[in-house]
Chains A and B, each alone.
Chain A
Amino acid sequence: MAIEVTRQFLPLLEEEGRGAATDDDAGRDLHYLPDMPDEDPYQAGHRTCAGCGPAIEYRWVLKAAGQDTVVAGPTGCMYVANSTYLCTPYTVPWAHTPIASGGSFTSGMAAGYEAMIRKGRHPGPYPNIIVMAGDGSAADIGLGSISGALYRNHDALFICYDNECYANTGIQVSPTTPYAGLTTFTPFGKANPAGKVLPPKNLAKMMAEGHPHCYVATTTVGYPVDLMNKTRKGLNLRGAAFMHCYTPCQKGWVYQTSMTVELGRRVVEAGLFPVWEYDPENREYHYFHPPVQRPVTDYLAMQGRFGHMLPEHVAATQVAANRNWQDIGMDVPAELREGEDPDKHARLKDETYSMPLNRGVGA
């Protein structure tokens, strides 16, 4: 007879006072002091850039998941930067997959463990199975493969670490590159001063709406406890889960390397990356309402990739942000509403914004 497959349960970390909703007055440094698990399966020995957002995400996800975990990594910057033959930063089993195979290879791992444990070939317990795919893999070439895996509801966590470009190959546009984002495939020039002219794909909503039986969440490297708890929720829930994590890329976005985590909060506070959870049981979205609402310039002006933006581009980005505020059930303050008017803006490099940082191209 088939053997019952035993599964792991990971307790959630206490969020009180240091969850994503903690405002500035309460002390944002609390975010830095979670009771991080001692386990650290993503170790030294990799070659990620200074200020690498995905490396932070990798480390927190694997701390949350622990040692009884199997990880797949499709081609992307976190393949190339992490793995070097005869050297590995992983103390958990890890496998490279082709860039389009994040969902499919992981489906195979999940199916393999289900069958092997059930048939007595492996003693179990069922490991945490995680794939961390870049946005090029998850939103572009491997979208169908991840959708297939969610649809089939394999017991695994499918993560998109989103640095909004193909960073590994030299910063090319991806479907999640923001409007007006500069990449080497979307340069700005006289004929096209905007750079990228298309708005980004809404990857996480597509996954939630299209696979309503799955736990789907978005988060950023600005909120460690939130990120780790969503990882654990996705793993605890039997079946497929999808987590979309915003992870700044210093090399691709051109910002001061110490600002990675700050960007992870500002993008939320500027209304450009809503953080939410989709609860498949009740088919409800739970939106995080940040304690601060900022004009998009507070976010854009920190990054060189937006340094070419003209007033109309800034205004168009504020329109998109304001729509996001409404989508997540928040009022749009008058100041942000006014920002929809190009006449209220200067060129981005001449805008004033809230952080005393060098700004403009190469900030």
Chain B
Amino acid sequence: MTTVHVDGAWSQRPAYGPGLRTPEGERRLAELAGTRKRLNGCAAAAYAALYANVDVITAYAIRPYTAIMMNLAQFIADGILDAEYIHADGEHTQLSAAFGAGSCGARAFTGSSGVGVTYAYEMYSIISGARIPIQMSIADRTLDPPGDFGSEHTDALCTRDMGWLMGWAATPQEEFDKSLIAYAIGEDPRVLLPQMVVQDGYFVSHISGEVDMPSAAQVDSYLPPYRLPFPLDPRQPLSHGPQIHPSQGPPLQLERARAMEDAIPVIREKTDEFAQVFGRQYPHFVEEYMLEDAEIAIVISGGHSVTCRAAVNRMRERGVKVGMVRLLWIRPFPSGDLRAALRGVKAVGVVETNLGLGGSTYGGILAPDVTTALYHAENRPHVTSFMAGLGGETVPTAEFEWMAGKLTQAVERGGVEKPAHWVGFEE
């Protein structure tokens, strides 16, 4: 397994204690333990950061993720959480400040939406390349134009190749859990990668669901204190981010690529550990729904999967052999798990709640990855994709049924009509 090669630094690294909680925080978490709260996705993310006892929060206002930061500001005002709360002058500053805090050994938390995510774009590669495992909580939003508050996955997906762990949560409970799981994976010394925990704007971020509140002890046992092996600490001086000679580029880039691959077994391990501590077992990478005997399958990510599951149920009642695969992680992309889940399926349709203008399917961003993963399958299924839910539009069950119809046609015809369908604009 590839790690950062600093011989000796691991044994000599300065000690970093667990962070103290405030007395009010201890009291509040004791009250919450074992209760079930109704929270929307934003509040769920904020509660996760509270339980994770983050040290530094960097905030800037943009809808819809803002409510995460509003909740955290209130926790601090109430004395429940002791953290430095930086009112950034923009998303670039948010990410830079979180990077600076994380580089010193502080657990840092930030977030954004839509064009805010892209405003900070410079920082993504730099932070992952520096191996600083900060967390960014995104409630996604359509990029401009058009001026639109609605959910679209394009904002976060734009950054998919920048070396961050990335995955969508479909419910507030999953958002809460995934925030903790992502910190546990990202901060693991075998991984050391920043994480994007993404939820659909409004569909998840602003709709309440029930969330089980753990005890502080549960969280502390699952998520140990953040200990960066190479902090900016006068007790052990070192330099971060120097210039390199071109000949040093390939090995360093190879190490970054391997870091993503090496995260895969840790994601499995931390997902299972989470189940042991909290009693909720998530699939490692892909949720398989009604796939046992499925001939056609819809591949989806995020909150629209809730509707998709209902549509699958309805179609199953009518005898359509349809299933669903939900991707819990987009980076690292679960090629192997996806292939395994879709073995035996004859046609696959990828729901693209995003825009990939001029890409290989002339549709969205996900289908090319899915297609590549499936290209190496033994019985390669037909693959197409569906542009749906753009601009924050809902994807009603009727649309999933229409998609299933296209997939059935593809099976019958022995090929897909086109690589990307614009749902609602075609017969």
List chain B residues, Cβ under 8 A from A251.
Answer: none
List chain A residues, Cβ under 8 A from B19.
Answer: 115-116, 119-121
List chain A residues, Cβ under 8 A from B233.
Answer: 70, 93, 122
Q: Are B242 and A119 in contact (CB under 8 A)?
A: no
Verify if B158 is at the interface (C-beta below 8 Å from A): no
Verify if B297 is at the interface (C-beta below 8 Å from A): no
Verify if A291 is at the interface (C-beta below 8 Å from B): no
Known: A69-B234, A85-B245. A105 touches B96 (CB 8 A): yes
Verify if A26 is at the interface (C-beta below 8 Å from B): no
Known: A83-B239, A115-B84. A106 touches B16 (CB 8 A): no
Verify if A246 is at the interface (C-beta below 8 Å from B): no
Verify if A88 is at the interface (C-beta below 8 Å from B): yes
CA of A100 to CA of B234, assembled, Å: 25
Q: Are A107 and B122 in contact (CB under 8 A)?
A: no
Verify if B104 is at the interface (C-beta below 8 Å from A): yes
Known: A88-B239, A116-B55. A1 touches B92 (CB 8 A): no
Pick from B98, B225, B240: contact of A108, CB below 8 A.
Answer: B98
List chain A residues, Cβ under 8 A from B253.
Answer: none
Q: Are B93 and A2 in contact (CB under 8 A)?
A: no
A2, A3, A79, A96, most chain B CB atoms within 10 A: A96
Verify if A147 is at the interface (C-beta below 8 Å from B): yes
Q: Nearest residue in B to A107 (C-beta to C-beta)?
A: B97
Q: Are A122 and B242 in contact (CB under 8 A)?
A: no
Verify if B373 is at the interface (C-beta below 8 Å from A): no
Q: Are B105 and A121 in contact (CB under 8 A)?
A: yes
Q: Are A120 and B55 in contact (CB under 8 A)?
A: no
Verify if A97 is at the interface (C-beta below 8 Å from B): yes
Q: Are B86 and A70 in contact (CB under 8 A)?
A: no
Verify if A174 is at the interface (C-beta below 8 Å from B): no
Q: Nearest residue in B to A66 (C-beta to C-beta)?
A: B234
Q: Are B92 and A108 in contact (CB under 8 A)?
A: no
Known: A69-B234, A85-B244, A145-B92. A119 touches B239 (CB 8 A): no
Pick from B92, B101, B234: contact of A127, CB below 8 A.
Answer: B234
Q: Are A144 and B96 in contact (CB under 8 A)?
A: no
Verify if B241 is at the interface (C-beta below 8 Å from A): yes
Known: A85-B242, A112-B55. A93 touches B100 (CB 8 A): no
Our count of residue pairs bridging A and B at CB distance below 8 angstroms stands at: 191
Pick from B23, B56, B87, B90: contact of A112, CB below 8 A.
Answer: B56
Verify if B102 is at the interface (C-beta below 8 Å from A): yes
Q: Are A84 and B234 in contact (CB under 8 A)?
A: no
CA of A107 to CA of B241, assembled, Å: 18
Verify if A92 is at the interface (C-beta below 8 Å from B): yes
Q: Are A145 and B89 in contact (CB under 8 A)?
A: yes
List chain A residues, Cβ under 8 A from B225.
Answer: 121
Known: A90-B237, A145-B96. A83 touches B243 (CB 8 A): yes
A87, A94, A108, A147, most chain B CB atoms within 10 A: A108
Minimum C-beta distance from B293 to chain A (A): 52
List chain A residues, Cβ under 8 A from B23.
Answer: 1
Minimum C-beta distance from B239 to chain A (A): 4
Q: Are B17 and A120 in contact (CB under 8 A)?
A: yes
Verify if A111 is at the interface (C-beta below 8 Å from B): yes
CA of A69 to CA of B245, assembled, Å: 28
Minimum C-beta distance from B106 to chain A (A): 3
List chain A residues, Cβ under 8 A from B86.
Answer: 107-108, 111, 152
Minimum C-beta distance from A152 to chain B (A): 7
Known: A2-B20, A83-B242, A121-B17. A97 touches B93 (CB 8 A): no
List chain A residues, Cβ under 8 A from B65.
Answer: none
Verify if A293 is at the interface (C-beta below 8 Å from B): no
List chain B residues, Cβ under 8 A from A109.
Answer: 100-101, 103-104, 232
Verify if B322 is at the interface (C-beta below 8 Å from A): no
Pick from A103, A111, A127: contact of B56, CB below 8 A.
Answer: A111
The digit string for B21-45, where 1 denotes a CB below 8 A from any CB of A, is 0110000000000000000000000
Q: Are B101 and A119 in contact (CB under 8 A)?
A: no
List chain B residues, Cβ under 8 A from A93.
Answer: 231-234, 236-240
Q: Nearest residue in B to A127 (C-beta to C-beta)?
A: B234
Q: Are B89 and A148 in contact (CB under 8 A)?
A: yes
Q: Are A98 and B100 in contact (CB under 8 A)?
A: no
List chain A residues, Cβ under 8 A from B106.
Answer: 108, 111-113, 115-116, 121
Pick from A72, A80, A104: contact of B93, CB below 8 A.
Answer: A104
B: which residues have CB within 8 A of A?
Answer: 16-20, 22-23, 53, 55-56, 58, 82-84, 86-90, 92-94, 96-106, 108, 122-123, 126, 225, 231-234, 236-245, 248
Interface CB pairs A-B, < 8 A, 15 = A70-B234, A83-B242, A94-B239, A97-B100, A97-B241, A100-B96, A104-B100, A105-B100, A107-B96, A108-B100, A109-B104, A112-B100, A112-B102, A116-B105, A120-B19
Considering the complex of A and B, which 3 residue pairs feature the smallest CB-CB distances, nearest first? A108-B100, A112-B106, A96-B241
